[in-house]
Amino acid sequence: MYTASIRRSTSRNAVALSLAAALLALMSVLTGAAPAQAASGTSQTVSNVDSGWATVAAGANLQKAPYGACGTVTHISASTKVWLWCTVENDYGNLWAWVRIDGTQTYGWAYYGDFTDGDLSDTSYWCPGEPS
């Protein structure tokens, strides 16, 4: 009786895990289709609420989420112009911007400390769900 209960529980867990994996795969396809819906690797919603721009100082990595330890989308060379969309503050209190590299359709998270000039005085263009 105990063995049958474990088998049923294990079988239910396997079905639940399979459904969860399928749902995650579907979500990654949907969120990858439009950068304005969600950033890859994070559930943070983004929106183009800022028409500002910035220049990357000495080169930096464009991240998949607003943390230095997250996966890298690409490397941004020094003096590259990026278009700012919106800002978040991560759990460490660091400001990050969802950006598009000028002249491309490449999007990702860039750390504000990597910017040298541009429209940096106003960081109040918060991404949806962030403090305002």
In this prediction, residue 42 carries a pLDDT of 55
Angle at 86 between CA 63 and CA 104, to 5 degrees: 60
Give the residue, 62 or 28, on which the prediction is more confident: 62
**% of the chain with per-residue pLDDT over 70:** 61
In this prediction, residue 48 carries a pLDDT of 83
Binning pLDDT at 50, 70 and 90, where does residue 51 land?
Answer: confident
What is the average per-residue pLDDT within 25-29?
A: 37
In this prediction, residue 68 carries a pLDDT of 82
Binning pLDDT at 50, 70 and 90, where does residue 43 land?
Answer: low
| pLDDT tens-digit series, residues 95-116 | 999 999 999 999 999 999 999 8
Give the residue, 17 or 50, on which the prediction is more confident: 50
Binning pLDDT at 50, 70 and 90, where does residue 123 land?
Answer: low
Max CA pair span of the chain: 70
Cβ–Cβ < 8 Å for 75, 94: no
Q: Exposure of 39 by Cβ count < 10 A (0-12 exposed, 13-18 middle, 19+ buried)? A: buried
Residue bearing tokens 């504000």: 112
In this prediction, residue 60 carries a pLDDT of 92
Q: pTM of the prediction?
A: 0.64
For residue 25, pLDDT over 60 is answered with: no
